[in-house]
């Protein structure tokens, strides 16, 4: 059995003071939710406050991005080693907003996953097609390309530690969610890819999350799909009661 994983992506929301308050509320509300793994990913600057507030709780902390290099002349950037030292244990990589707004391509995303692994951070690799790609019948081709670009550089033991988040771009922040059947279909494709390239245990144990307008009202049906092992949640993760309702959907 794969344990469900719920990840809250706070995006560029909540300064350190606000993040401390949100983390405190989540800590209280989610203290009984020990049936699943829970991670929150605040903005870089708010990570120390959240790490401190969530110490010895059942909620872990992640980052939303990192630089591919460990250190050097990269003004304004943050390395995996810095995030790890600040108390993060996970890192989202290749979110569609990074790909679309900041020009991250498969090659850079792969280098960033490698940087996570070197730093001891658990990567959450985001993949997903645009609406135009879906309409053109390219879902499998796009998602396979994005997954293979990263996994071709990994051995089986490491591959099994990388979480994949399928996030159709047309469903992120739009209120439009993939149907449980649409999500399941792509998740099965991704698991099939892992089975094709690695020994069976990788596909059996790897967690594949769904992301894109997940809410309390649709979480249970999405999380009930055979190959949906959790959710990456944006907007709703900023509202403690809404995030709780999603987490409860994994029970």
Which CB sits closer to ligand PEP, 62 or 211? 211
| 167 assigned to active site | yes
8 A C-beta contact, residue 131 and residue 170: yes
Beta-bridge mates of residue 163: 124
Q: According to the binding rule CB under 6 A, does residue 247 interact with ligand PEP?
A: no
Closest CB to ligand PEP: residue number: 234
Give the active site residue among 60, 97, 167, 248: 167
Q: According to the binding rule CB under 6 A, does residue 50 interact with ligand PEP?
A: no
Torsion region of 175: left, alpha or beta (phi above 0 gives left; psi -120 to 50 gives alpha)? left
Q: According to the binding rule CB under 6 A, does residue 234 interact with ligand PEP?
A: yes
8 A C-beta contact, residue 208 and residue 228: yes
Give the active site residue among 60, 95, 129, 248: 95
Q: According to the binding rule CB under 6 A, does residue 173 interact with ligand PEP?
A: yes
Q: According to the binding rule CB under 6 A, does residue 232 interact with ligand PEP?
A: yes
Of 123, 235, 240, 249, the one binding ligand PEP (CB under 6 A) is: 235
Q: According to the binding rule CB under 6 A, does residue 214 interact with ligand PEP?
A: yes
Q: Which two tokens stand for residue 217?
A: 């009202």
Q: Which two tokens stand for residue 135?
A: 């309409």
Give the range of 98-106, 134-142, 145-153, 205-213 binding ligand PEP by CB under 6 A. Answer: 205-213
Beta-bridge mates of residue 40: 8, 61
From 210, 216, 191, select the one nearest 202 (Cα to Cα). Answer: 191
Of 212, 230, 240, 249, the one binding ligand PEP (CB under 6 A) is: 212
Q: How far is the CB of 221 from ligand PEP (least distance, A)?
A: 16
Residue with token string 């135009």: 132
Tally the residues of the chain: 251
SS3 call for 22: helix
Torsion of CA 167, 139, 188, 175, to 10 degrees: 30
Sign of the dihedral through C-alpha 153, 159, 163, 166: positive
Rounded CA separation 38/60 (Å): 6
Q: How many residues bind ligand PEP (CB under 6 A)?
A: 13
Give the range of 55-63, 111-119, 165-173, 240-248 binding ligand PEP by CB under 6 A. Answer: 165-173
> Which DSSP string corresponds to 43-56?
-GGGHHHHHHHTTT
Q: According to the binding rule CB under 6 A, does residue 209 interact with ligand PEP?
A: no
Give the range of 132-140, 179-187, 216-224, 232-240 binding ligand PEP by CB under 6 A. Answer: 232-240
| 129 assigned to active site | no
Of 65, 206, 213, 218, the one binding ligand PEP (CB under 6 A) is: 213
Rounded CA separation 60/96 (Å): 23
Q: How far is the CB of 100 from ligand PEP (least distance, A)?
A: 12
What amino acid positions are annotated as catalytic residues?
95, 167
Binding site for ligand PEP (CB under 6 A): 9, 167, 172-173, 211-214, 232-236
């Amino acid at each position: 059995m794969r344990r469900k994983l719920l990840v809250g992506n706070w995006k560029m929301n909540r300064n350190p003071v606000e993040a401390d308050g949100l983390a405190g509320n989540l800590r209280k509300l989610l203290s009984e939710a020990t049936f699943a793994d829970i991670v929150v990913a605040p903005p870089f600057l708010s990570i120390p406050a959240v790490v401190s507030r969530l110490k010895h709780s059942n909620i872990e902390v992640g980052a939303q991005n990192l630089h591919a290099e460990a250190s050097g002349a990269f003004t304004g950037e943050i390395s995996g080693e810095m995030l790890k030292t600040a108390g993060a244990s996970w890192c989202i990589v290749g979110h569609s907003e990074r790909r679309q707004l900041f020009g991250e391509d498969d090659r850079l995303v792969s280098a960033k996953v490698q940087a996570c692994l070197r730093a001891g951070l658990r990567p959450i690799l985001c993949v997903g097609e645009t609406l135009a790609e879906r309409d053109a019948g390219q879902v499998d081709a796009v998602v396979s390309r994005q997954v293979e670009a990263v996994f071709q550089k990994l051995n089986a033991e490491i591959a099994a530690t990388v979480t994949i988040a399928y996030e159709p771009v047309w469903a992120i922040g739009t209120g439009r969610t993939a149907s449980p059947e649409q999500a399941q279909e792509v998740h099965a494709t991704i698991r099939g890819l892992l089975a094709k390239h690695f020994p069976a245990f990788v596909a059996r144990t790897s967690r594949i999350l769904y992301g894109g307008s997940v809410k309390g009202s649709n979480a249970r049906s999405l999380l009930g799909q055979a190959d949906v092992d959790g959710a990456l949640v944006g907007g709703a993760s900023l509202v403690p009661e809404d995030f709780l309702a999603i987490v409860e959907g994994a029970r």
